[in-house]
């Protein structure tokens, strides 16, 4: 979570950038009804909860760990062989403070998209290897999964060493065995962005033969990423990414929070973005500020889901923004878990059996589902 200091910085930046941001918007944006996706929460929520009976031997401590005893939340989703797979974040110690637990990635599958069976052990977790300096002790957080045209799966996750969050990537052919490649910005600009706070990679995908496949633009994949602001990056191989910069060498912010609205504090990318006939649709997580600049329409600090549309010929250009969130905490378990201010943190999206399934984390504690 961003600190109060970041919030103050944000207020200053937004004040300075207000006129500039307005100038970049189209005078007559497309009607919202043409491009947005509408969802309804299923009455079976939550669809996944913690379970202390699952154990495995941690390769670093050599101890038996109840790896999903505390929380299961913020899943990525993919369809493989007519089955929905969730790669979900699981935390072990319910007594540790927020951000102080070890996260591991578990795998679950479902033939109807609602009722999931978990694999007994995590499929991705910190190990005593070259990536330990980034992945331990906080672990792997908030996975987002894409499929490339050759059938490779890429999982973008947050490496959390309890010092600096780094956006990292792993690859797999079967969703069970993963190869860790580490932080995605290691090589870009001689490592200039390796040690900056980076999270939440949303790669642009396109619905192809019923599956969401990563799409290339002029030979490169595109990713919306960030936490406080939405930035843009590009990659030829999906492993090594280069952030897009302004002329002064600073990160190019393609979408920023809106003061006195539900996303007044931050705009954080959600599931993989969608290339559509109307533009590139990004579903994102908006957080309300606490104090000055917050809206009174939603509780302070609450995370709700928003949607924003970018120009498909100029992915850095925002066309339109949904002014009100399409999903917010409303159920008891969405406002009573680890993050009590309330969270519907959208992160997994699949097209399954002619419907859109949106998976989200509830109060950093359970998994919820909304369907279109």
115 sits in which H/E element: none
CB of 348 closer than 8 Å to CB of 358:
yes
Residues 287 and 290: their CA atoms lie apart, in Å, by 9
pTM of this structure: 0.90
Q: Is 67 exposed, middle or buried (0-12, 13-18, 19+ CB in 10 A)?
A: buried
* Residue whose entry in the numeric block shows the structure tokens 């009573």: 336
Residues 15 and 3: their CA atoms lie apart, in Å, by 19
Residues 269 and 255: their CA atoms lie apart, in Å, by 10
What is the reported pLDDT for 26? 42
Q: Kindly report the backbone phi and psi dihedral angles of residue 12, in degrees, each rounded to the nearest multiple of 5, phi listed first.
A: -65, -45
If we measure between CA atoms, which residue out of 240, 238, 228, 204 comes closest to residue 316? Answer: 204
Separation of CA 227 from chain center: 9
DSSP state of 70: S
What's the average pLDDT block by block, 10 residues per block, for the chain (372 residues)? 40 39 44 87 96 96 95 97 96 82 97 98 97 97 97 98 97 98 97 97 95 96 97 98 96 97 97 97 97 95 97 96 96 88 95 97 94 94
- The domains found in the chain, sorted by start residue, are 4-11+23-371 (2.115.10.20)
CB of 347 closer than 8 Å to CB of 361:
yes
Tokens of 310: 């970018």
Cβ count near 280 (within 10 Å): 28
If we measure between CA atoms, which residue out of 327, 330, 358 comes closest to residue 74? Answer: 358
CB of 243 closer than 8 Å to CB of 188:
yes
CB of 362 closer than 8 Å to CB of 46:
yes
Residues 79 and 84: their CA atoms lie apart, in Å, by 5
DSSP state of 28: S
What is the reported pLDDT for 30? 63
CB of 367 closer than 8 Å to CB of 75:
yes
Residues 255 and 372: their CA atoms lie apart, in Å, by 25
Cβ count near 66 (within 10 Å): 17
Residues 359 and 204: their CA atoms lie apart, in Å, by 18
Residues 343 and 331: their CA atoms lie apart, in Å, by 10
CB of 104 closer than 8 Å to CB of 124:
yes
């Amino acid at each position: 979570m961003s600190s109060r200091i970041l919030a103050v910085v944000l207020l200053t930046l937004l004040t300075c950038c207000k006129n500039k941001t307005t100038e970049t918007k189209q005078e007559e944006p497309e009607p919202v009804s043409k491009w947005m996706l509408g969802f309804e929460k299923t009455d079976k929520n939550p669809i996944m909860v913690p379970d202390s009976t699952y154990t495995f031997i941690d390769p670093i401590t050599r101890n038996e760990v109840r790896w999903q005893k505390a929380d299961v939340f913020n899943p990525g989703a993919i369809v493989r062989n007519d089955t929905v797979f969730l790669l979900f974040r699981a935390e072990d110690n319910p007594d540790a403070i927020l951000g102080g637990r070890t996260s591991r990635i578990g795998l679950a599958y479902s033939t109807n998209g609602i009722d999931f069976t978990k694999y007994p052990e995590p499929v991705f977790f910190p190990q005593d290897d070259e990536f330990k300096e980034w992945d331990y002790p906080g672990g792997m957080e908030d996975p987002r999964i894409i499929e490339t045209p050759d059938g490779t799966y890429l999982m973008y996750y947050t490496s959390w060493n309890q010092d600096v969050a780094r956006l990292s990537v792993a690859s797999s052919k079967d969703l069970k065995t993963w190869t860790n490649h580490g932080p995605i910005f290691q090589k870009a600009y001689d490592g200039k962005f390796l040690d900056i706070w980076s999270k939440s990679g949303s790669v642009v995908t396109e619905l192809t033969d019923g599956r969401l496949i990563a799409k290339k633009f002029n030979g490169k994949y595109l990713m919306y990423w960030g936490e406080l602001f939405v930035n843009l990056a590009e990659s030829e191989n999906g492993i090594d990414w280069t952030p897009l910069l302004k002329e002064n060498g600073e990160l190019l912010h393609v979408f920023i929070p809106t003061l006195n609205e539900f996303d007044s504090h931050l705009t954080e990318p959600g599931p993989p973005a969608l290339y559509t006939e109307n533009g590139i649709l990004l579903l994102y997580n908006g957080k309300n500020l606490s104090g000055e600049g917050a809206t009174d329409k939603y509780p302070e600090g609450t995370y709700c889901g928003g949607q924003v549309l970018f120009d498909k010929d100029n992915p850095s250009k925002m066309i339109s923004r949904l002014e009100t969130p399409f999903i917010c905490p409303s159920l008891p378990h969405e406002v009573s878990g680890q993050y009590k201010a309330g969270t519907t943190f959208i992160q997994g999206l699949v097209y399954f059996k002619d419907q859109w399934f949106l998976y989200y984390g509830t109060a950093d504690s359970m998994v919820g589902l909304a369907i279109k």
